[in-house]
Structure 1
């Protein structure tokens, strides 16, 4: 029998209690089902992967489209789903709270709120405003039952403000505001990772590995990391293969399919079409 939403959320929370797990990022039903077939214990949506699949730039998809996408991924798999919910789709804390309640209703097991503004001149919210937005998200989750995990994200390193002290101050504040897990995408060195882990301990930390890395899962676990996601990296890898094959075709060549999966393999993976 399929797991209930409550069972998925309980399983997701338990994953964060010890050890270190990989949280891969599908962008559609097929990629979600394939990841589940490999034995992953949970998945997370990717705002960029979903946006590109719809011919949009990252962070240029409507709230309604993202909510429908979350519903699609939740229904695609019995695994817990963590929502990449961008900055909460709200101009103020009240609107963030409204959006979070809608996201919780899709059945996601966790959701992240970024502190990025989308404004290149001022790329992150002032910390007081960011805390207010996260506090509103926490309240919305609690009013909806409280079993959905809240992930607080400090976007400094991603948006071109690689200020580690400010990142640590933000993550500490987000932890105090009720975030269950903390995340600073873009940090790369062991020293930076250890600093984040120590700053918010004992709360779990997510680390992004968005490109080839010398780190192993064991290495990251040794640094105190509890979960590792890849963001849009898998989507970019898929796009890379598609673009290489397309360029070969436009040049009149048919040599861009060397790494293609076989149709028989894909049909075998998706033979169970009960969903």
Structure 2
């Protein structure tokens, strides 16, 4: 570990220890260490199973069948994924009372697997671990949908109203969840430390939140493998693997 990295880790530890209200903001990079593929890495399986735009999904039963085929193909690729160091670190921050909730762009449910309650995870892009009816909003579990899909070749309708079932993710062209966006903005404006872990910060409106926190007086920290467009705004930027960076923080410093 170089001295420069040591100094960056010391600065991060100091900001964490001094913060009263911290916010964790996570993107795909926190989950790639758990085996969940991201969208932008060359050769990503998402390129072979591209998410289908919302309007196309609504317009055609054939397209909906293809969307579900792609969905299940991707699920199989990371079925065994488990929370990594970053997920567990944030869960510890929440349980300590230093972090009211985590804001995430991810749809994999790993924050909940790490021990956070649904109320402690603000999912800006939805959740891919279950489905909802587009008409009545009823939740449906994926196992039942997949069983019928594989038997009959089509996803079943909603068992309550007969409506269209869709993975509970936000598709391209679909409206962002208003409650989640409102909660994320309120939390962003209440924090004195905004900690970005593993986001390229290119997908809006979610990527506007770090700048909002900074303008409101919070310290902005970005931990990511690659540069982001907001690095120049940040108070601290650490480039590297999230797991190894947070492992080093956990081993070297205690937060009082």
TM-score normalised over the length of structure 2: 0.30
By relative contact order (CA 8 Å, sep 6+), the higher-ranking structure is 2
- Greater strand fraction, Structure 1 or Structure 2: 2
